[in-house]
Amino acid sequence: MDLRVALIGYGTGGSVFHAPLISSVPGMRLAAVVTGDEDRGRAVKERYPETEVVDGPDRLWGASGDYDLVVVAAPNRQHVPLARTALTSGLPVVVDKPVAASAADARSLAALSAVRGLPVFPFHNRRWDGDFLTAARLVATDALGQVQRFESRFERWRPEVRPSWKQSTDPRDAGGLLFDLGTHLIDQAVTLFGRPDSVYAEVVTRRPDATAPDDVFVALSHPGGVRSHLWTSATAAHLGPRFRVLGSRASYTVSGMDVQEAQLHAGLTPKDPGYGIAPPEAYGLVGNPGDERPEPTAPGAYHDFYAAVARALSGDGPAPVRLADAIRGLEVIEAAARSAAEHTVVHLDEG
């Protein structure tokens, strides 16, 4: 029997990412979408005619026996309250990033998850970017030698500010790029090289009409000596490489973004031929000066997150992303915010 999934939110996250990914996984069914927006409700019925449109999350909790999983793709400040209600209603939950606006809130969610015996899966989908999968394989197989520095960028040129709750300065909204794309950058670095010992950051608001940070640099010092340098910006008029991984024998450098987001925006899904496949001209390079070769990019596979969720719920595999990983990432984000505010390096306690 298919897992019946209820999706809360049908903005960009719900419509572009979650709904098509859920619908592409065998054994999962998009049973309901929660949205109070009439236009979004019509869009759901046009694309997923068998999916019920529900005008508010309270209607889910009263019929919790009709669902097997809740996905929270609402604005950030609603993540923890909705996830807590899902758990107390007896439902496991996927929560978009960032899981919470603070590590303390995420820990409280973990405590409730443990009490209820139900999992919380953070949606850290960028672990399934093709270029990240490629970089991870090269690191794991020692193809570059001892990694010395890991550089990673999500840079964009958006000089005009888009009105959004993401411009909020209320800490409960977790607005700005440090919480937004910074969550992915930090999660990827920590996944590869472990929780850092220390954090240094520069968190700046540059655009005249912006109220939340739009230009961020974070430096992490990992156990073993690897340094991660992470950038995210909406004000980059020239984009740096997506990844530059410098090792003792060779480097891996790749530019451009993983193809999946653009494909999903265009209406493609993992069921379509060519989904997640980077063209040869987008391949990165492995080697050193005078001896470089193209490195084929692994297929991107965001849908593998949901396939792993389905296996975990049936007892056939581990969680694709642990809530503990999201808590660890939020601890790094909080250290970065403190570093930027105090103009200092923040040393993390062991744990």
Domain that holds residue 46: 3-123
The number of CA neighbours under 13 Å toward the Cβ of 341 is 6
Given 123, 144, 173, the domain boundary residue is: 123
- Number of domains comprising the chain: 2
Inside any domain, residue 313: no
Q: 133 and 267: one domain?
A: yes
Q: Among the three residues 74, 95, 123, which one is the final residue of a domain in this structure? A: 123
When mean pLDDT is compared across 18-22, 169-173, 233-237, 341-345, the lowest value belongs to 169-173
> What is the mean predicted confidence (pLDDT) over 167-186?
94
Is pLDDT at 129 greater than 60 in this prediction?
yes
**Which token pair is 15?**
């419509």
Q: What is the CATH number of the domain that holds 90?
A: 3.40.50.720
What is the domain-level CATH number for residue 154?
3.30.360.10
Domain finish residue from 56, 91, 123: 123
User: For the segment 70-92, what is each residue's pLDDT rounded down to a tens digit?
Assistant: 999 999 999 999 999 999 999 99
pLDDT recorded at residue 1:
81
Do the domain assignments include residue 152?
Answer: yes
Mean pLDDT of 54-59: 94
Q: Is the pLDDT of residue 163 over 90?
A: no
pLDDT at 350 over 90: no
Residue 138 sits in the same domain as residue 109: no
**Do 26 and 105 belong together in one domain?**
yes
Model pLDDT, residue 351: 44
> Per-residue pLDDT tens for 274-321?
999 999 999 999 999 999 999 999 999 999 999 999 999 999 999 999
Same domain for 238 and 287? yes
